[in-house]
Amino acid sequence: MSRPLVIGSRGSRLALWQAGWARDRLEAAGRAVRIETIRTSGDRLGDAPLPLLGGQGLFVKEIEEALLRGDVDIAVHSMKDLPTTQPGGLVVTCVPERADARDLLLARGARTLRALPTGSIVGTGSPRRACQVLAVRPDLAVRDLRGNVETRVRKWEGGDYDAIILAAAGVARLGLDLPAAPLGLDQMLPAVGQGALAIETRADDADARAALAGMHHPPTAAAVAAERAFLRGLGGGCRAPIAAFAEVEGATIRLRGLAADVAGRRQVTGESRGSSGAAEEIGLALARDLLARGAADLLPRAPTPPADAA
Average pLDDT of the segment spanning 103-117: 96
Model confidence at 302, pLDDT cuts 50, 70, 90, reads: very low
Confidence of residue 299 (pLDDT cuts 50, 70, 90): confident
Q: What is the CATH number of the domain that holds 206?
A: 3.40.190.10
145 shares its domain with 85? no
The pLDDT-based confidence of 1 (bands split at 50, 70, 90) is low
Claim to verify: residue 212 and residue 223 sit in the same structural domain? no
Which residues, at least 6 apart from 69, have a Cβ–Cβ distance to it below 8 Å?
A: none
Do residues 20 and 145 both lie within one domain? no
Q: What is the pLDDT of residue 305?
A: 43
Provide the pLDDT for residue 261: 87
Smallest CA-to-CA distance from 285 within 263, 260, 253 is with 253
Region 68-73: mean pLDDT is 97
Looking at the fold, whether 163 and 25 belong to one and the same domain comes out as no
Please report the pLDDT score of residue 307 as a whole number: 46
Are 2 and 92 within one domain? yes
Does any domain span residue 292? yes
Q: Is residue 190 part of a domain?
A: no
Task: Please give the positions annotated as active site.
Answer: 81
Query: In terms of domains, do 87 and 204 share one?
Result: yes
pLDDT of residue 163: 98
Q: 72 and 201: one domain? A: yes
Q: Is residue 269 included in any domain, yes or no?
A: yes
**Mean pLDDT estimate for the chain:** 90
pLDDT at 303 over 70: no
Q: What is the mean pLDDT of residues 222-243?
A: 87
Q: Say whether both 225 and 92 belong to one domain.
A: no
Local structure of residue 66 (DSSP, 8 states): H
Q: How many separate domains does the chain show?
A: 3
pLDDT at 240 over 80: no
CA distance 231 to 168: 21
What are the backbone angles phi and psi of residue 22, rounded to the nearest 5°? -65, -45
Q: What is the mean pLDDT of residues 102-121?
A: 96
pLDDT in tens, 247-272: 999 999 999 999 998 788 899 999 99
Q: Are 257 and 236 in contact (CB under 8 A)?
A: no
Do 226 and 300 fall into the same domain? yes
Q: Are residues 67 and 207 in the same domain?
A: yes
- 221 and 260 both lie in a single domain: yes
Q: Note whether 267 and 257 are same-domain residues.
A: yes
Domain that holds residue 160: 103-182
Antiparallel, parallel or unpaired: β 121-123 and 163-167: parallel
